[in-house]
Amino acid sequence: MTSEAEKSTGPRHIAIIMDGNGRWAQSRGRPRLFGHHAGAKRVREIVEACPDLGVKYLTIFAFSTENWKRTQVEVAGLMGLFRRYIAKEARALKDEGVRVRFIGDRVRLDDKLVGLMDELELLTSDNDKVHLTIALNYGGRDEVSRATKRLAQDVAAGRLDPEKVDEETLPKYLDTYVLPDPDLVIRTSGEARISNFLLWQSAYAEYEFIDTLWPDFSPEIFAGLVKNYGRRERRFGGVIA
């Protein structure tokens, strides 16, 4: 039998693949963007729930490198939504002690959006109650390839000894270098795949794949998943006697 001391404590860092906005809207006879707007409102509730659940870090998958394949109308609508969300929520996030970071490749994003992202990161840089990381134009393979390129440049410039490169080296070049690895990854909407999200960082994360569509993902459901995590035994490749 496992003692209380051997049981997992609550997750400090939770990452969420927020899936199902489009299907949620279509099931109501509305355009897909209606679902994305509903999903954006849900983000605020989940962020607000984090402190009471002991969740210090929350990382959400907002837009992947593969999402550019969607229709031009949907992509343009999403970019507009991101701009409005940042402008609308900036002051509240600052006042509520939320520190915001963005991860992903910003090169393809428009200048106005990037400027708003930079401003929000600076505005909230002194906050420490909850660390909200938003993955925008993010892909795990893209992140690793960009990190590897920077690592190779340091080796070529003589700033890094290739003989000293190990599994602790690459994380220093990742977008998430200042964050702890996620303890729990949640995907909504019934899909059971990780979709190129935090591939390196989630090597030992626990996963929850749930049927709930993201706009229906309530703080109560969130709290239940946090509670379930606390019952898990995390061995990290070892064995608990």
Domain boundaries, the chain: 10-139+181-229
* Separation of alpha carbons 91 and 223, rounded Å: 26
DSSP for residue 182: P
Contact assessment for residue 86 and residue 116, using Cβ atoms and an 8 Å cutoff: yes
Q: 87 and 121 in contact (C-beta within 8 Å)?
A: no
For residue 11, give both structure tokens.
């997750």
**Res 240: pLDDT:** 56
- Looking at residue 232, its pLDDT comes to 72
Query: Tokens 């039998």 appear where?
Result: 1
Q: Give me the pLDDT at residue 241, please.
A: 54
Which pLDDT value is given to residue 230?
82
Binding residues are 19-24, 32, 36, 64-66, 68, 70, 187, 193-195, 206
Bridge partners of 101, per DSSP, are 133
Q: Which helix (H) or strand (E) holds 91?
A: helix 72-95
Task: Beginning with the edge strand found earlier in the chain, give each strand of the sheet holding 130-138 in spatial order.
Answer: 98-103, 130-138, 57-64, 13-17, 184-187, 206-209
Tell me whether residue 228 is one of the annotated catalytic residues.
no
Residue whose token pair is 């550019």: 68
pLDDT value of position 1: 34
Catalytic residue among 67, 105, 142, 196: 67
Question: Which residues contribute to the annotated binding site for substrate?
Answer: 20-24, 32, 36, 64-66, 68, 70, 187, 193-195
> Has 67 been annotated as catalytic?
yes
Q: Which residues are annotated as a binding site for Mg(2+)?
A: 19, 206
For the chain, list residues with pLDDT below 70.
Answer: 1-8, 233-241
Q: CA 198 to CA 204: how far, in whole Å? A: 11
Return the CATH class of domain 10-139+181-229: alpha beta
The one-letter code for the residue type at 188 is T
**Three-class SS state of 130:** strand
